[in-house]
């Protein structure tokens, strides 16, 4: 049993164990106004055991056990460690009941209801954690590519894909479970079935802003302190949000942050060479496809099924599609890179016409990408199931087969990446929006 008595007293352990301690996560959540409503039978914590417990989790989810429907239906009591009555008279006026916004992507678990005593921090850290989710990347990379700097965006995609591959693969090799609940309140459960060391949200939340800073400083005119402050604030917000959400220990977040700095140090001197190779070498398409598919096969062989493997294939597929589109654009003379003679770039004065054209490009482009993704998803999984003789009535079950999930992720997101980098800019030229 995890005992968090003496809420504000740090246990006398080694520093490594201390920063991995779920009680430290629970303390931080308590400080930020998050209270659990665990049933009586949850007094004994059930630590998240990762993908190796998939069958037990699926059975529990179907039966409504644990943090699912039955847990919510049971008469809730606030975790004894926290000592607050959820309906106590005189409670703060901004207190609200809440549940995780999205169910677990693998088990279907909807999560345990909790109390929010500080709505500002709840919305702030919800925003912070969204900066590491799929929908943010679908919006952010295209916006930068179409409206700000195509070179910066496609190089960001390269770093993002490789960074996520390294992080997710490390998770499946280290195999640490998520912080135990209770005492930790699971404000988010979407990734609850994955392993947790290191935090890949912390990795992407560090890689994107610092790589953006690395690529734009000197290329664009802005103060060094401003760019560094924005990058650091972005990274800290994402990292802290993962502890707030109850998804990671402090040690896992710190490791993810430092791990990414090492990866960026490796990519900084070679990123320009990688980009030039993708554009100019005649064998680049073959190398791109073989390398990205091979890395996906490596990731899928590390452990039993988990959502992290699909996320890895998704990132590699997006990176492959964007790289192939870069090669095609260069070969067809459609590359939109700013000439070196124009550097450093300055932000043009904002006017109504420029803003409207940027918004129009963004909404048309994102609409094309979302429609592409929807159509590809709707057709690829049934096709693969028929191809390999698997039932397609349960999509979640079908996607637990490597023969379905790996090609599905690659096909869908390589097409999405290609459409973003090559087809949509061509469409803008046709519509006179380039």
Q: Return the HEC string of 353-391.
A: HHHHHHHHHHHHHHHHHHHHHHHHHHHHHHHHHHHHCCC
Taking the CB of residue 374, how many other CB atoms lie within 10 A of it?
A: 11
3-state secondary structure of 157: helix
Q: Which of 11-15, 68-72, 107-111, 238-242 has the lowest mean pLDDT?
A: 68-72
Handedness of CA 320, 401, 70, 82 (dihedral sign): negative
Residue 89: what pLDDT?
41
Percent of the chain clearing pLDDT 90 (strictly above): 32
Percent of the chain clearing pLDDT 70 (strictly above): 77
Say what angle helices 307-331 and 271-280 make with each other, to 10 degrees: 60
C-alpha distances in Å from residue 197, one per residue of 28, 58, 265: 19, 23, 21
The region that residue 344 occupies, defined by phi over 0 for left and psi between -120 and 50 for alpha, beta otherwise, is beta
Exactly one of 30, 201, 292, 327 is catalytic; which is it? 201
Residue 134: what pLDDT?
76
Q: Chain centroid to CA 186: how far?
A: 17
The pLDDT of residue 16 is above 80? no
What does the alpha-carbon distance between residue 381 and residue 65 come to, in Å, rounded to a whole number? Answer: 30
More confident residue, 80 or 152: 152
Q: What is the mean pLDDT of residues 69-73?
A: 34
Who's near 89: CB < 8 A, 6+ residues apart?
none
C-alpha distances in Å from residue 264, one per residue of 166, 237, 357: 12, 19, 34
What does the alpha-carbon distance between residue 247 and residue 198 come to, in Å, rounded to a whole number? Answer: 11
Who's near 201: CB < 8 A, 6+ residues apart?
129, 132, 238, 239, 241, 242, 247, 248, 256
Residue 3: what pLDDT?
55
Is 201 annotated in the active site? yes
Q: Which of 15-24, 126-135, 178-187, 221-230 has the lowest mean pLDDT?
A: 15-24
The pLDDT of residue 208 is above 90? yes
Token pair in block for residue 210: 């610092």
Mean pLDDT: which of 111-125, 166-180, 268-282, 288-302 is highest?
A: 268-282
Exactly one of 30, 117, 248, 282 is catalytic; which is it? 248
Residue 18: what pLDDT?
60
Who's near 233: CB < 8 A, 6+ residues apart?
none
The residue to which tokens 């637990």 are assigned: 400
Residue 157: what pLDDT?
92
What does the alpha-carbon distance between residue 125 and residue 241 come to, in Å, rounded to a whole number? Answer: 5
Query: Per-residue confidence at 188, pLDDT binned at 50, 70, 90?
Result: confident
Q: What is the mean pLDDT of residues 245-256?
A: 89
Residue 305: what pLDDT?
57
Residue 192: what pLDDT?
75
The region that residue 113 occupies, defined by phi over 0 for left and psi between -120 and 50 for alpha, beta otherwise, is beta
pLDDT in tens, 364-416: 999 999 999 999 988 888 888 888 888 777 777 777 777 787 888 889 999 99
Q: What pTM value is reported for the model?
A: 0.79
Residue 19: what pLDDT?
67
Q: What is the mean pLDDT of residues 210-239?
A: 93
What does the alpha-carbon distance between residue 255 and residue 263 come to, in Å, rounded to a whole number? Answer: 12
- Chain mean pLDDT for the chain: 79
């Amino acid at each position: 049993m995890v005992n968090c008595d003496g809420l504000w007293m740090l246990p006398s352990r080694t520093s490594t164990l201390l920063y991995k301690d779920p009680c430290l996560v629970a303390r931080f959540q308590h400080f930020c106004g998050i209270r659990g409503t665990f049933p009586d039978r949850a007094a004994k914590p059930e630590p998240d055991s990762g993908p190796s417990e998939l069958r037990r989790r699926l059975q529990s989810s179907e039966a409504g056990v644990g943090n699912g429907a039955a847990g919510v239906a049971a008469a809730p009591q606030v975790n004894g460690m926290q000592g607050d009555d959820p309906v106590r008279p005189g409670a703060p006026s901004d207190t609200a009941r809440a549940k995780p916004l999205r169910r677990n992507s693998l088990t279907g678990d909807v999560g345990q209801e909790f109390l929010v005593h500080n709505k500002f921090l709840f919305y702030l850290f919800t925003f912070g954690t969204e900066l590491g989710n799929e929908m943010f990347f679908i919006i952010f990379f295209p916006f930068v590519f179409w409206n700000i700097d195509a070179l910066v965006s496609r190089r960001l995609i390269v770093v993002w894909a490789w960074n996520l591959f390294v992080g997710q693969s490390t998770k499946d090799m280290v195999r640490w479970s998520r912080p135990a609940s209770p005492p930790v309140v699971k404000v988010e459960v979407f990734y609850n079935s994955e392993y947790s060391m290191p935090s890949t949200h912390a990795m992407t939340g560090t890689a994107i802003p610092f790589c953006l800073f690395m690529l734009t400083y000197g290329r664009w005119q802005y103060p060094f302190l401003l760019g560094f402050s924005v990058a650091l604030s972005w990274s800290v917000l994402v990292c802290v949000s993962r502890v707030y959400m109850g998804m990671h220990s402090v040690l896992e977040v710190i490791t993810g942050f430092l791990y990414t700095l090492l990866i960026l140090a490796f990519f900084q001197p070679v990123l320009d060479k990688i980009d030039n190779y993708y554009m100019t070498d005649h064998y680049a398409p073959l190398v791109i496809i073989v390398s990205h598919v091979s890395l996906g096969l490596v990731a899928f062989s590390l452990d039993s099924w988990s959502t992290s493997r699909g996320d890895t294939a998704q990132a590699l597929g997006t990176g492959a599609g964007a790289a192939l589109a870069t090669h095609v654009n260069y070969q067809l003379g459609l590359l939109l890179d700013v000439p070196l003679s124009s550097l450093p770039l300055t932000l043009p004065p904002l006017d109504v016409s420029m803003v409207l054209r940027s918004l129009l490009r963004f909404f048309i482009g994102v609409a094309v990408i979302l429609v592409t993704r929807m159509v590809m998803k709707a057709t690829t999984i049934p096709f693969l199931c028929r191809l390999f003789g698997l039932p397609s009535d349960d999509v979640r079950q079908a996607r637990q087969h490597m023969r379905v999930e790996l090609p599905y992720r690659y096909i869908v997101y390589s097409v999405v990446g290609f459409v973003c980098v090559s087809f949509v800019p061509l469409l803008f030229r046709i519509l006179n929006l380039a």
